[in-house]
Amino acid sequence: MRSFFIQSVFFLFSCVTFAQEKTPFAIYEFSSDQEYQNKLEILEKKPTSKEAFQDVILWASEHKDYETVILYYSKLIENGHENAENHFGLAGANGIRIDEISKFKALPYVDAMKTNFLKAHQLNPKHTPTLMALVKVYAKLPGFLGGSYSKARKYAELLSTLSSIEGMLAEGFILESENKRNEAKKIYNQAFNQLTFLDDCNPDELKVFFGNRSQNLSFEIASIGLAFDLNVNKSICSLSYFLEKFDKQDNLPKEWVYYKLALLHERINEKEQADKYRSFALEINPKFKP
C-alpha cells in the first residue's frame, strides 16, 4: 500500500505551506456517493488485519473521508502496528480535519496532530517528512497551543543534518512565519542553488531526490519559486514532477497545479503553454477562481 500521507501530507490552518499561501484541500462529497459507502461497508466487515485496515485507509483517503482515515489509522496502531509512518499518517489526517471543521471544534485535532507527529519522530528520528511537519506545526501554531519558533528551529536543525536542502526550506518557512520575507528569500535562493538536478529535469535524478520524501515537496518548491521569483525553469520542472505523480490520494486540487504551471509559463512569456494549463484547470473546475 502506498503510504499516502508520507507522500501527500499538507495541513495546518488553511493549508499553510511554503510561501505562506492558502491552497485549499481537494474535497469530495463522499457522504452522497453510494458506491463509496457500499464498498466502505464491505471493507469494514473484513476480518481484522493490517491489510484490512490499510484497505479502508486507502479507499477513504481516495474519497477524502478523513474521519474514517483517522479511525482506521488509530485501529492500525492499537492492533500492534505502531511505527513512524502510521503515526505520521494519523497526524496528517488530523491536520487536514483542522481545516475542514469549525475552529471551535478543532482543538482535539490539533492535540492529536502534534502528539502523533512527536510520536512518529520518537519512533524514527531520521524520518524527514515528520521533521518538516514538526517545523510547520511549531512555526504556525499560536503560543497558547504550544507554538514555538525555537522548537521549530530545533527540528529544522535536525532536518539539516539529514538533508541540507530541506533544512534550508524549513528555515525559510520559519522566517516567513516571522514575517521576515527578505531573509526567507535569501535562504530559499540558497536552497534553489543546490537543486541543480532541476536544471536539466533529469527523471532519474528527480526520482532519487523526491522518491522518499513528501510528494508535496515538489509542489512546495515550485510555490516558493513562484512566490519569490526564483528560477522559473526549476519551478516548472518540480511542479511537472508533482503532476506526473499525481493520483487519487493526493489532497491538493489538481486545478491548482495547472494554475501554477500557467503562472510559471507566463513568467517566461510562454503564452501558449500558460493558456493550455489554464484551460486544463477550468476543465476540471469550471468555477475555479484562485
Residue 6 has pLDDT above 50, yes or no: no
> Total domain count for the chain?
1
Residue 279: partners with Cβ closer than 8 Å, 6 or more residues away: none
225, part of any domain = no
Q: Can you give the residue range of the structural domain that contains 76?
A: 4-183
pTM of the model: 0.89
Residue 17 within any structural domain of the chain: yes
Q: Which pLDDT does position 22 carry in this prediction?
A: 63
The tens digit of pLDDT for each residue in 56-72 reads 999 999 999 999 999 99
Strand partners, 22: 16
Q: Is 238 helix (H, G, I), strand (E, B) or coil?
A: helix
CATH number at residue 137: 1.25.40.10
Tell me whether residue 200 is in a domain.
no
Given a contact cutoff of 8 angstroms between Cβ atoms, the answer to whether 237 and 33 are in contact is: no
Give the pLDDT band of residue 2 (cuts 50, 70, 90): very low
Selection from 28, 32, 36 nearest residue 56 by Cα = 36
Residue 232 lies in a domain: no
Q: Where do the H-state alpha helices sit in 141-163?
A: 149-162
DSSP state of 22: B
Q: Is residue 219 part of a domain?
A: no
What's the pLDDT band for 29 if we cut at 50, 70, 90? confident
In a domain, 204, yes or no: no
Residue 258 falls within a domain, yes or no?
no
Residues 6+ apart with CB under 8 A from 289: none
User: Does residue 110 fall inside a structural domain?
Assistant: yes
